[in-house]
Amino acid sequence: MTALYIRGRPVRLGERVGRGGEGEVFVLADRPDQAVKLYSSPDDRRREKIEAMVAAGLSARSDLVAFPLAVVQGPGGAFAGFAMRLVRGHKPLFELYAPGARKVAFPDVDYRFLVRSAANVAVAVAKVHEAGAVVGDINHSGILVSDKATAALIDADSFQFGERHLCRVGVPEYTPPELQSRRLDGIVRTPEHDAFGLAVVIFQLLFMGRHPFVGRYRGSGDMPIERAIAEHRFAYSAKGRSDMSPPPGAARLQDFPDEIRAMFEAAFGGNASARPRAPQWADALRRLEGSLSRCSTNDIHYFPSAAGGCPWCRMERESGIVLFVAPLPKGATRSDPGAAGFDLAGVWKSIQAVRLPALDGLSPPVTQTALQPSSEVAAFAGAVRTRRRSGLAVLLVAAALLGWSGDLWLLCLPLAWWGYHLTWQGGSDLRRFTERHGRARSAYDAAIVDWRKRVGIEEVIARRRTLENAKTTYDGLPSEEKRRLAELTTKRRENQLRRHMESFPLRRAKIRGIGAGKLATLASYGIDTAAQVRRDRVLAIPGFGPVNSQELLAWRASVESRFVYNPSPTQQDRQDEDRVRREIANEASRLRGELSAGAADLRAAGAVVERRMAASDSMVDRAYHDLEQARIDLEALGAAAPMIAPSPSPLRRL
């Protein structure tokens, strides 16, 4: 190989760590923390930019960016390339934001890691701007992320530095609307242009690889991603002006706090100057990470509290894609119902011995008052007596007339009917008192229900049921472990094939007819590795048909054809088994703690409830008084009403 020099001193190259269209990257043999990029076609324009960056000392401004450290020369001082800090232990951004690739590249991370990574990407971009440069070509392959969520920017030789040394390239799906379909080699970039690409990257991290301008177009024809960007068709916008809707199973903009929603709307709106800058994103994302909630259904899910419920559970149900996997346990521990001296029978006996309130017929003590029939009843009874006396008098007159002359029967008949009506029609008037009693009964029952909620009876009983479920689950853990381990054995070939397919991300493949735009579209519909490429799923995506999908499906078939099944347990198979055992052991430990504290918890809760139950309650007192008054009124009118059952002893064993 041609002799190479840095600052006049010869250098030796180590292993090659990268190759691209512009050249190759090698580790320096004597400086393993540095690398050199050698251009295939070095020219004066590249040389002048590298020399300017080195002279400005950009590499000292930030260790998050692989700025040029020194010029690399060949024989006779000819420009060959540049030296830079070697970024180790980092992986391309798309291997983090795409769920399929993430399971292979970052198997143990959760959503907090994605938010933190997004914040650190924003910090790295801010460092570029502080150094007086502009990234220009922000894209998924120029950003690397470590297993500690730190971000590093590479390909710094393509950055714009000043207004003379321009960034001449760009990836369409990260290019802002005002630069779409334009030649980029003569345009002076600004931080506003970077703000758009940065917002796309952050959106992809927060929305599981979805692109903000990919979705279902409600108009006629296809909507390529480049056109959607140029026309400001933000598919997730809540403003409803894009004629686009998100792909099925995607997170919603409403799942995020107002601050994040507003920033995305501003970043993808029509006003370039309103786009949030990198420092704003870094601060907002730190606040977002600090406000995340943990899912009560799947404890490896962390989600924005503004969502109300877990959007990742919803996405997994709707898309069938597992977004996060449980961290790999360190070592295997078999579940043991008797672990740590735990005596389930004794613990459960203690729980059963705790006396709990029974809901049936339970009510607070009430103030007993000697009640008399109401004045309304007395007035009603007097009116009834007067009416009955009048009715009897009319009946007597009718009888006397009929006895005096039978020919008067036509006159006597209506008189008799009128007398009968006056004497016995009080039943319809009595209905208002029976209805009043019914309303009082309903009000009393409602007051009792409300009282039970306020004193906490239902919560204590629900806690007892929870302990019963915990015991049932604990008893079944050994069988559950055996079932899950047997399922792993039964599905060993299926799991090995799935892992094989997941190890082939689409971003690393070269498939004819599948460019950057279609890759972004596929990722937005949850297809980012060979494992998700299925004919039915691909054909359901706008812009993909039987013809232009053939190459993609053929690539998937070629990847599958390379799979070799290993009937013996592989290291990954054993790790899967270890994960099952650890999950069972963790669940057993959790249940032991819950059950061990169960009796004490119930006794403490029962004591609180008993004190509350011993006190009278004004709302129940008032409802009881109204019901008793209604009962006494009915009895005074000669109508029967049911007595209120007395409250049982406050506590009794269930």
CA proximity to 127, closest of 35, 198, 184, 209? 198
Q: Are 645 and 639 in contact (CB under 8 A)?
A: no
- CA atoms of 21 and 23, how far apart (whole Å): 6
What is the helix (H) or strand (E) element at residue 484, kind and residue range?
Answer: helix 457-490
CA-to-CA separations, 538 to 227, 248, 340, 634, in angstroms, rounded: 21, 13, 52, 75
User: What pLDDT, on the 0 to 100 scale, is given for residue 125?
Assistant: 97
Task: Give the model's confidence band at 331: pLDDT under 50 very low, under 70 low, under 90 confident, else very high.
Answer: very low
CA-to-CA separations, 79 to 31, 46, 55, 167, in angstroms, rounded: 21, 9, 15, 20
The 10s digit of each residue's pLDDT in 244-297 is: 999 988 999 999 999 999 999 999 998 999 999 999 999 999 999 999 999 988
- 619: number of Cβ within 10 Å: 15
Which long-range contacts link 379-384 to residues 24+ away (Cβ below 8 Å)? 380/429, 380/433, 380/637, 381/636, 381/637, 384/426, 384/429
Q: Is the pTM of this model over 0.85?
A: no
| Mean pLDDT of the 114-121 span | 97
| Mean pLDDT of the 571-576 span | 86
Q: Which residue has the higher pLDDT, 594 or 153?
A: 153
**Does 140 have pLDDT greater than 70?**
yes
Q: Are 507 and 94 in contact (CB under 8 A)?
A: yes
Q: Are 356 and 608 in contact (CB under 8 A)?
A: no
Task: Give the model's confidence band at 159: pLDDT under 50 very low, under 70 low, under 90 confident, else very high.
Answer: very high
Task: Give the model's confidence band at 333: pLDDT under 50 very low, under 70 low, under 90 confident, else very high.
Answer: very low
Percentage of the residues of the chain whose pLDDT score is greater than 90 = 44
- CA atoms of 544 and 353, how far apart (whole Å): 66
| Tokens standing for residue 262 | 């507003």
Residues in the chain: 654
Winning range, highest mean pLDDT, from 48-57, 386-395, 544-553:
48-57
Q: Are 496 and 564 in contact (CB under 8 A)?
A: no
The 10s digit of each residue's pLDDT in 161-194 is: 988 999 999 999 999 999 998 998 889 999 999 9
Task: Give the model's confidence band at 406: pLDDT under 50 very low, under 70 low, under 90 confident, else very high.
Answer: low
**Does 315 have pLDDT greater than 80?**
yes
**So what CATH class is 89-319?**
mainly alpha
| Tokens standing for residue 326 | 């449980």
Q: Are 359 and 452 in contact (CB under 8 A)?
A: yes
91 burial level (CB within 10 Å; 0-12, 13-18, 19+): middle
Q: What does the domain layout of the chain look like in residue ranges?
A: 1-88, 89-319, 328-513+548-654
Place of tokens 């209506």: 414
Give the CATH superfamily of 1-88. Phosphorylase Kinase; domain 1 (3.30.200.20)
Sign of CA dihedral 565, 570, 571, 573: positive
Q: Are 143 and 129 in contact (CB under 8 A)?
A: no
**Does 451 have pLDDT greater than 90?**
no
